[in-house]
Structure 1
Amino acid sequence: MEMSFSDKKLTEVESLKGRKKKQKKEDAWKPEGPMDPFAMLDSLPETKQQEIQKALHLFSLGRSLPKTLQQAKKHMYQFWDTQPVPKLGDSIVTHGPIVEGEASVRKEPYSLPQGFSWDTLDLSSSTVLKELCTLLNENYVEEDDNTIRLEFSLEYLQWALQPPNWLAQWNCGVRVDANNKLVGFVAALPADVRIYETEKRMVQVKFLCVHKKLRLKRMTPVLIRELARRVNQQGLHQAVYTAGIVLPTPMSSCRCWHRLLNPRKLTEVTYPGLRQNMNLQRALKFNRLPEVTKTPGLRPMTKEDVVGIHSLLQANLRKFYLSPVLSLLEIEHWLLPRGNVIDTYVVEGNDGTLTDVVSFYSVSSRVLNHPVHTGLREAHLLYVASTATDSVDLMEDTLVLAKSKGFDVFSALEVMDNRSFLEKLKFSINDKSLHYYLYNWMCPKMSPDKLPVISNSW
């Protein structure tokens, strides 16, 4: 794909005697040799940059990363064909590792392209965390039309990447030698996971990100190999991860549903989850919610609730074929409320026993090139377990609480028992899928209602 930028043409002409005219003063700023095209892009007005980035985004990403099984069957997976993952089309009825863990693990890091070096990121450093925040916010995930882009906060990344027993060496960064700029990242978190009847210690892979300008350098496979090497060094050989694209081979796939909380704002920014056949006035009426909650005993979680929530969730998660096995420390980390990060509510019975729990985490997005709105706040359902309250009533109260906290939309995957309330509470289905994967583990495929949310899915 070739792009040309209009520039002033040189008009100086040599005389017949070979004398060269003096360069015009307005051209004196021009550097010798061709100008860096990325520097030229950065010098353009922001609106023009967005137009070009939108074209590049659709051209370079849309064709190369399959988002459906039909597209995946025509795609060549040069890297994934070398990895211990099921092949597309395989029908699996057995359980267990695809390859056994090797006795010896490679000691040397994998080689990066010239000019780049590995860096183990110390996320306890605020400076390093800010660098990672910048990399993810500018390069991680955005809508295909390049109008809405995820925007992570430092507090969110601390929560998402520093659970109990996290290891610094599992935060793989790539830097440019010339200026030390962070241009690549992938992380792994320790996780105990139950797969059907088997409980395994493995890792959850998070935030695989390569700078947009470097994606043609095939850096992603090297990041994955290096992370696998570091994980193998700790004696672990399995991983769980999710992606919005189809890789070999999804263990399950589910759709995301959205419930509008601020229809006026979402209409003005053309949010992807809008119903196409509904005008603003009808959307306001259709999505109206009660002003207050109605469940007796509903209150925010406190640290004293950790043991009760642990008991509730562990009993609930045993119903599913894939589920996290959470410790008390992990319950405290993932669910204890943090401002603008995670909210958890419990229902306390008359005898002081906890009967229900519901939690959602906060994801912010930047709205690009809008004259009024600059950001969106989206609540994502994490865990819900109810034994005494009807799930529809509990989730309607959750929507009321999320709206009162200023969220614009509430999102939930069609996993666990969520289908019991999604349609009744006027959620609308998204046309995109989230795919679940296991690395170096084979098992029969699962339907979405047998899946949980694995921590937070980003």
Structure 2
Amino acid sequence: MAGSQPVGGGGPLPATVSNASESTGEQSTVKDSTTSSNPAAETTTKKKKRMRQKQGDPLQTDNSTASSEESSNKAASKLTPQMADSLLEMNPALRGELGTLDKSKAREMLKKMNISDLLTGMSIGGKNQKDMASYKFWQTQPVPRFDEKADDPKPDGPITIIDPEQVAKEPEPLLEGFEWCELDLNKEEELKEVYELLTYHYVEDGNAMFRFKYSKSFFNWALKPPGWLGKWHIGVRATKSRKLVASIFGIPVHLRIRDVDLKATEINFLCIHKKLRSKRLAPLLIKEVTRRCYLAGIYQAIYTAGVVLPKPVGTCRYFHRPLDWLKLYDVGFSPLPPGSTKARMITRNQVATKTSTPGWRQMRSEDIEAVRDLLQRYLSKFQMTQNFSTEEIEHWLLDKSADEHDVRTVWSYVVEAAETGKITDMVSFYCLESSVIKNEGKTDGSETVKAAYLFYYASETAFAEKEKGYKERLKGLIGDALVEAKKARFDVFNALTLHDNPLFLEDLKFGAGDGQLHYYLYNYRTQPISGGVNKENMPDASEKGRRGIGMVLL
């Protein structure tokens, strides 16, 4: 990966605000420490940046800050109609804001916008703004471009053929005072360092109300699957204090993109300390994990981001099912709809107290092979997904800490037919809490929002002729998952529009979020893949609309 891929990163926080930071799509909405709404401060900032350039700051070589805004506007004014249409197509939320205009007026409005807003913007209002250096960086990388002609599709395959002999054997130098390191998650002290870095400096929503709260067990689960490599767990330390100030992680993944199998890397947890957001560490982190993957003979990667980068292969939307609506309202996550009452919303979002599917039970070790067979057959229906080994099924679906409720990460269930003992269905979800920033320090439960994320599922009814009975079966299975999540004291159940989720989202009272999750492939080109949403950015329940993305990235 000749230099890049950004963070993966689960999904938005419960507030479903998309996230961005620094200059390559790192997931956080924390503003750059050099940014200010004070004109005098901005002037001082520009002077400092110019001085750094004169002094030869190695991290400022491609950031022409003095004229970035001017060049951004020039670039936007040169948007061709085709490029404008492509940007709207790749940005459903932005398209929704301009959807009432005819195409010519929408294009003219786009041309008046700053190009960095277009590339990152889930909205016109300035959320997820990034600088032109981001766009310049991605122009140097083997990723599809926005201005590629849709009527002249290139064949699927690698964008750049990598010569292993030409890959640098040593990392690029960092700014003086910082150094590279490998993070050993088998060491308790280093696992704690990663936990603290990501807890306080990773993803926050745009209003700084919520922040992901990762557990140590989550990191062990997410970053140590079968075949994981310590050299892909990369950090940056301050030389004097030895403090961990940045990270990026890669794990091995076996992809299938349409009919092509690929060994690739899943990139996640690109995080930079808030005080260092102006140092342009993100491109260097991306280049370094790329270099290490190349040296291991892996030349493609997959990642997700809540911002628009060049160029998504597909985009999903987040949906949310409240399980404890009153708590979500109290912490500022769920609003009270006009004309409704608290009592009405509590009643509306109640779930059953018992599961209803005969044969429903927790998954056990003896189910692994049957679950793998069922899941792989189901995933074969999708254009982009993951091929799982037996060891990976065990790792991802069976939580080794299941008896320790406070650190449990994943919940998996199967349905066993009473007459045959056959596993006919499986459903799973994982736990990711968020801190409620205004309530940090409290111990009454209001300091966190406990979110369940729908993971993988499969059902034999998916293979019935014309999917007869499948929608109702799926609604029953996910409904039972909601029951289990409620019993485990989750506050909200999140799901994307991938897999066959559009079949049940609205019927099971999932509400549409304002967060998008864009999927990206590095050094691999393929035609766009459906993320399960239609032109109105709502669930597309047609078979074509929902049989695109079949892969869940954490």
Scaled by the length of structure 2, the TM-score of the pair is 0.69
1:274 CA drift (Å): 6.8
Which residue of the partner structure matches residue 173 of structure 1? 235
1:278 CA drift (Å): 3.7
Counting matched residue pairs gives 400
1:224 CA drift (Å): 0.1
Contact 2:121 2:129 in 1 (8 A): no
Contact 1:189 1:205 in 2 (8 A): yes
Q: d(CA) in 2 for partners of 1:189 and 1:195?
A: 18
One-letter amino acid of the counterpart of residue 450, structure 1:
R
Q: d(CA) in 2 for partners of 1:251 and 1:79?
A: 19
C-alpha spacing 1:451/1:272, structure 2 compared with 1 (3 Å): farther
Q: d(CA) in 1 for partners of 2:437 and 2:119?
A: 24
For the residue of structure 1 that corresponds to 2:486, the secondary structure is: helix
Which residue of the partner structure matches residue 32 of structure 1? none
1:313 CA drift (Å): 0.5
Contact 2:313 2:519 in 1 (8 A): yes
Q: d(CA) in 2 for partners of 1:285 and 1:415?
A: 28
1:126 CA drift (Å): 1.1
Q: d(CA) in 2 for partners of 1:453 and 1:315?
A: 12
Q: d(CA) in 1 for partners of 2:320 and 2:339?
A: 16
Contact 2:382 2:550 in 1 (8 A): no
Which residue of the partner structure matches residue 94 of structure 1? 155
Q: Percent identity?
A: 40
Which residue of the partner structure matches residue 436 of structure 1? 519
Contact 1:382 1:453 in 2 (8 A): no
Give CA-to-partner distance per residue, 1:66-98, whole Å, 9 cap, x none: 133988999630211100000114234520000
Q: d(CA) in 2 for partners of 1:290 and 1:282?
A: 17
One-letter amino acid of the counterpart of residue 163, structure 2:
E
Contact 2:237 2:244 in 1 (8 A): yes
Q: d(CA) in 2 for partners of 1:228 and 1:149?
A: 28
Contact 1:275 1:428 in 2 (8 A): no
> Are 2:127 and 1:66 equivalent residues in the alignment?
no
Alignment of 1:316-335 (within 5 A): 316-335=378-397
C-alpha spacing 1:240/1:308, structure 2 compared with 1 (3 Å): same
Which residue of the partner structure matches residue 258 of structure 1? 320
Larger proportion of helix:
2
One-letter amino acid of the counterpart of residue 209, structure 1:
C
Q: d(CA) in 2 for partners of 1:74 and 1:169?
A: 30
Unaligned runs of 5+ in 1: 4-61
Q: d(CA) in 2 for partners of 1:205 and 1:276?
A: 41
Which residue of the partner structure matches residue 219 of structure 2? 157
> Are 2:475 and 1:392 equivalent residues in the alignment?
yes
1:143 CA drift (Å): 1.0
Which stretch of the first structure deviates more once superposed, 102-111 or 242-251? Answer: 102-111
> Are 2:182 and 1:120 equivalent residues in the alignment?
yes
Pick from 413, 436, 444: which aligns with 1:345? Answer: 413
1:451 CA drift (Å): 3.9
C-alpha spacing 1:207/1:451, structure 2 compared with 1 (3 Å): farther
Which residue of the partner structure matches residue 137 of structure 2? 79
Contact 1:67 1:244 in 2 (8 A): no
> Are 2:496 and 1:413 equivalent residues in the alignment?
yes
1:434 CA drift (Å): 0.2
C-alpha spacing 1:2/1:314, structure 2 compared with 1 (3 Å): closer
Alignment of 1:121-140 (within 5 A): 121-140=183-202
Contact 1:266 1:274 in 2 (8 A): no
1:136 CA drift (Å): 0.3
Which residue of the partner structure matches residue 15 of structure 1? none
> Are 2:448 and 1:375 equivalent residues in the alignment?
yes
Q: d(CA) in 2 for partners of 1:451 and 1:378?
A: 25
C-alpha spacing 1:283/1:395, structure 2 compared with 1 (3 Å): same
Q: d(CA) in 2 for partners of 1:287 and 1:280?
A: 11
Pick from 414, 421, 425: which aligns with 1:356? Answer: 425
One-letter amino acid of the counterpart of residue 161, structure 2:
E
1:285 CA drift (Å): 1.1
> Are 2:300 and 1:246 equivalent residues in the alignment?
no
One-letter amino acid of the counterpart of residue 183, structure 2:
L
One-letter amino acid of the counterpart of residue 98, structure 1:
I
For the residue of structure 1 that corresponds to 2:136, the secondary structure is: coil
Contact 1:139 1:212 in 2 (8 A): yes
Give CA-to-partner distance per residue, 1:234-258, whole Å, 9 cap, x none: 0111000001111110000110100
Q: d(CA) in 2 for partners of 1:114 and 1:394?
A: 55
Which residue of the partner structure matches residue 29 of structure 1? none
Which residue of the partner structure matches residue 485 of structure 2? 402
Alignment of 1:299-318 (within 5 A): 299-318=361-380
For the residue of structure 1 that corresponds to 2:388, the secondary structure is: coil
Q: Who wins on radius of gyration, i.e. which is larger? A: 1
One-letter amino acid of the counterpart of residue 141, structure 2:
Q
C-alpha spacing 1:275/1:203, structure 2 compared with 1 (3 Å): farther
> Are 2:336 and 1:271 equivalent residues in the alignment?
no
Which stretch of the first structure deviates more once superposed, 337-346 or 350-359? Answer: 337-346
Give CA-to-partner distance per residue, 1:285-319, whole Å, 9 cap, x none: 11111111110100000111100000011000000
Unaligned runs of 5+ in 2: 1-35, 39-115, 403-407, 462-469, 532-545
1:436 CA drift (Å): 0.1
One-letter amino acid of the counterpart of residue 208, structure 2:
N
1:423 CA drift (Å): 0.4
Scaled by the length of structure 1, the TM-score of the pair is 0.83
Q: d(CA) in 2 for partners of 1:335 and 1:416?
A: 17
Which residue of the partner structure matches residue 24 of structure 2? none
C-alpha spacing 1:189/1:451, structure 2 compared with 1 (3 Å): farther
1:279 CA drift (Å): 2.8
TM-align CA RMSD: 2.2
Which residue of the partner structure matches residue 54 of structure 1? none
1:424 CA drift (Å): 0.5
Pick from 489, 503, 510: which aligns with 1:427? Answer: 510
Alignment of 1:26-45 (within 5 A): none
Q: d(CA) in 2 for partners of 1:406 and 1:100?
A: 49
Give CA-to-partner distance per residue, 1:10-37, whole Å, 9 cap, x none: xxxxxxxxxxxxxxxxxxxxxxxxxxxx
Q: d(CA) in 2 for partners of 1:74 and 1:140?
A: 17
Contact 2:202 2:271 in 1 (8 A): yes
Contact 1:255 1:433 in 2 (8 A): yes
Q: d(CA) in 2 for partners of 1:375 and 1:195?
A: 37
Pick from 252, 260, 268: which aligns with 1:190? Answer: 252
Q: d(CA) in 2 for partners of 1:263 and 1:177?
A: 47
Contact 2:336 2:342 in 1 (8 A): no
Pick from 440, 454, 457: which aligns with 2:551? Answer: 454
Q: d(CA) in 1 for partners of 2:192 and 2:393?
A: 26
C-alpha spacing 1:2/1:409, structure 2 compared with 1 (3 Å): closer
For the residue of structure 1 that corresponds to 2:164, the secondary structure is: coil
